[in-house]
Structure 1
Amino acid sequence: MGYLKGFMDFSRKDQDVRDPIERIKNWEEYVVRFDDDELKRQSSRCMDCGTPFCHTGAEWDGANVGCPVNNFIPEWNELVSEENWQEALKRLEETNNFPEFTGRVCPAPCEGSCTLAINDDPVTIKSIENEIIERGFDNGWVEAKVPTRRTDKRVAIVGSGPAGLAAADQLNEMGHHVTVYERDDRPGGLLMYGIPNMKLEKDTVDRRIKVMKESGIEFVCNTEVGVDVTRDELNRDYDVVIMCTGAQDPRDVPLENRESSGIHFAMDYLKASTKALETDPKNTPITAEGKNVIVIGGGDTGADCVATALRQNAKRVVQFGKHPASPEERTSDNPWPEFPMTFKLDYGYKEGLESQGEDPRKYEVLTQRFEQGEDGNVAALHTLNVEKVYEDGKLVTKEIPGTEQVWDADLVLIAIGFLGPEQEILEHFNLQTDERGRIWTLDGSKDYCTNEQGIYAAGDARRGQSLVVWAIREGREVAEQVHEYLTEESKMNIV
């Protein structure tokens, strides 16, 4: 490394963030970029250890360890510490198509597997990764990848989320003609409308799409496959179809008065709020302004709902989760190098704490029923506290009698995950599903072929709800399989 004692001499420093009270007044990204001197210090903390678990992307006793796209982390840390930014970008782009997305929204499993994290704070890998790609764009180093030679093969990709974009990028670079279909008005899928601007500004997504278009990839928006374009039409015009539709069928809470107005799925709320920013933030069909907001369910989607509601000037925001709070330190069943399942104050919760005087999260709370007002809108939620106990050797959730509560609510957002891909498109393509409702493939972990000839699947549609970085990995891997299939097909035609 450029400075061998960096991990001994320097402490971890995270990127600065804008003041929580100030940042909820607008929709700009809340993270502030590092300066040059701090970047040198932070990158020099990398130990260049003999076995760098940070980039393994392997499965360890049922848990995923390190970076799923196998980023060459120690190598570009050293290059950054030496201020060799252009070479660092080259190494980063070898494994990750979209570092500007993972550098902003990835929970950084690489950092949880950093060797330094055994007895110290891990290297700020995610922040350094993001700075490398931003320097690349700032200096014009990120260029279109126009293949020198084109094949006669055509690939249609259904869905322009991170898996679809990664598959498109790889296949285009291999020389195939790629068309990406998106039913929304702009490419990006989850990246465009599912992740709020304060985490990922849409100029960042548009910037990448522009480069991909210049590389020769075609995007067809406002087009729903299975409705506007049929399977037969795709089979006629393309050699392969890749399903990257995501897992967009939301899990519901079928309780009393569920039909009340003011109860929405989290993704519908986030999408409407993000779209409104392009025209008039005040003119959104679902707003939290002046309302008592309750978010049911945790995770990143729940945190994004909290942060969005605060920016819309909600009266109060509360989030319910049925699980207990995570521990402050790793437990014995969550050892390094697994991702640490420890307590974190995410950006939205920090904003809630500062603006409301308390963390919006309420733990071990189970919604019992919705109460409907005379106007047909939700008026309240009735809840009960629960606890995790062992019964017959199994951990179960038990209700605690006498803990009933009633919570005022004008807007309820359901953020308890997704069941899998939407059924209509699966039926249209006659695709089989597994026991969890995901698109079935020949080998759930290694093969991306579906039960239909020439149709592949990748991303959340195949894997289930997961991280952006896993979607990118799936997109890269399905591209390799499709390329192999198309190459073999060409050889057979020659013979």
Structure 2
Amino acid sequence: MSEQKPSSGHLVVTIGAGPAGIYSARKLAEAGHEVVIINRDIKPGGLVEYGIYFNKHKLKEGVRKQFRQILADDHVHYLGHIKVGEKADLTINELRDLLKPSAMIIAAGAQGTKALGIPGDTAVGVYHAKDLVYHFNGLPPFSEKDFKIGDRVAIIGVGNVMVDIAHWLVHEKKGQRSGRCGEARAGSARLHRCRNPVSRGKY
């Protein structure tokens, strides 16, 4: 980390220990502030830990090394396995009363999911990518969930997450076939450019 400024006397609470939360902690510590990171999960990392495919060891370890250096700073204090919110371990107001911070940063990430808004998008056997990624990366409670996956799979979307899910289906769910579909045209629910990467599709 860069050379730090003298202590500012300020305490900042950061909720969330993904890339945004941890890198904001680094900049705050460099400015001389004390930082307390509150994280829902036991381990820090967020999507670096639970969103990157589990066999991408070099990529994950490179980022983990940076995170370890930041969290080892004397001005940074990590508290894991604490949920913040209504009907959780602590509310925002309770955190304020307990720690009396000068500022708070909410870096909890995009926790929700979006439906496509087309017929059948909530049917049995239709899963959100985030839930599957958390499942094969071992994040509770998704790791314990039994995802019923048949012999043929269609994946809507052609981003990096599609590659990881297709890889998992082919190599971990042996014998299953997977397909992928490109985005629908703007304002249209009709899909196009569907391919089967197992038999002939290329990425």
Normalising by structure 2, we get a TM-score of 0.75
Partners of 1:154 and 1:240 within 8 A in 2? yes
Whole-angstrom distance in 2 between the partners of 1:253 and 1:360: 25
Q: Deviations over 1:379-429 (max 9, x none)?
A: xxxxxxxxxxxxxxxxxxxxxxxxxxxxxxxxxxxxxxxxxxxxxxxxxxx
Whole-angstrom distance in 1 between the partners of 2:167 and 2:84: 33
Whole-angstrom distance in 2 between the partners of 1:285 and 1:303: 22
Partner residue in 2 for 1:207: 65
For the pair 1:222 / 2:86, whether they are aligned, the reply is no
Which residue identity lines up with residue 12 of structure 2 in the other structure? V
For the pair 1:247 / 2:89, whether they are aligned, the reply is no
Partners of 1:289 and 1:309 within 8 A in 2? no
Partners of 1:154 and 1:176 within 8 A in 2? yes
Q: Identify the match of residue 358 of structure 1 among 196, 200, 203.
A: 200
Deviation at 1:231, TM superposition (A): 1.2
Structural RMSD (CA): 2.9
Partner residue in 2 for 1:158: 15
Deviation at 1:293, TM superposition (A): 2.1
For the pair 1:190 / 2:47, whether they are aligned, the reply is yes
For the pair 1:167 / 2:35, whether they are aligned, the reply is no
Assess, with a 3 A threshold, how the Cα gap between structure 1 residues 305 and 257 changes in structure 2: closer, same or farther.
closer
Partner residue in 1 for 2:138: 275
Partner residue in 2 for 1:316: 177
Assess, with a 3 A threshold, how the Cα gap between structure 1 residues 291 and 180 changes in structure 2: closer, same or farther.
farther
Whole-angstrom distance in 1 between the partners of 2:156 and 2:56: 21
Q: Identify the match of residue 156 of structure 2 among 280, 291, 296.
A: 296
For the pair 1:181 / 2:46, whether they are aligned, the reply is no
Which residue identity lines up with residue 180 of structure 2 in the other structure? Q
Partners of 2:155 and 2:181 within 8 A in 1? yes
For the pair 1:258 / 2:122, whether they are aligned, the reply is yes
- Aligned identity (percent) is 25
Q: Which has the larger radius of gyration?
A: 1
Partner residue in 1 for 2:188: none
Q: Secondary structure at the match of 1:192?
A: helix
Whole-angstrom distance in 1 between the partners of 2:121 and 2:19: 36
1:445-456 equivalence runs, <5 A? none
Deviation at 1:158, TM superposition (A): 1.5
Assess, with a 3 A threshold, how the Cα gap between structure 1 residues 316 and 168 changes in structure 2: closer, same or farther.
same
Normalising by structure 1, we get a TM-score of 0.33
**What are structure 1's unaligned runs of at least 5 residues?**
1-143, 277-282, 325-348, 362-495
Deviation at 1:153, TM superposition (A): 0.6
1:51-450 equivalence runs, <5 A? 147=4, 149-199=6-56, 201-216=59-74, 217-226=76-85, 227-236=88-97, 237=99, 238-254=101-117, 255-256=119-120, 258-260=122-124, 262-275=125-138, 285-286=145-146, 291-312=151-172, 313-323=174-184, 353=197, 356-359=198-201
**What are structure 2's unaligned runs of at least 5 residues?**
186-194
Whole-angstrom distance in 1 between the partners of 2:67 and 2:121: 43
Deviation at 1:235, TM superposition (A): 2.3
Deviation at 1:264, TM superposition (A): 1.6
Q: Deviations over 1:89-131 (max 9, x none)?
A: xxxxxxxxxxxxxxxxxxxxxxxxxxxxxxxxxxxxxxxxxxx
Deviation at 1:305, TM superposition (A): 1.6
Whole-angstrom distance in 2 between the partners of 1:225 and 1:146: 32
Partners of 1:180 and 1:220 within 8 A in 2? yes
Partners of 1:292 and 1:314 within 8 A in 2? no
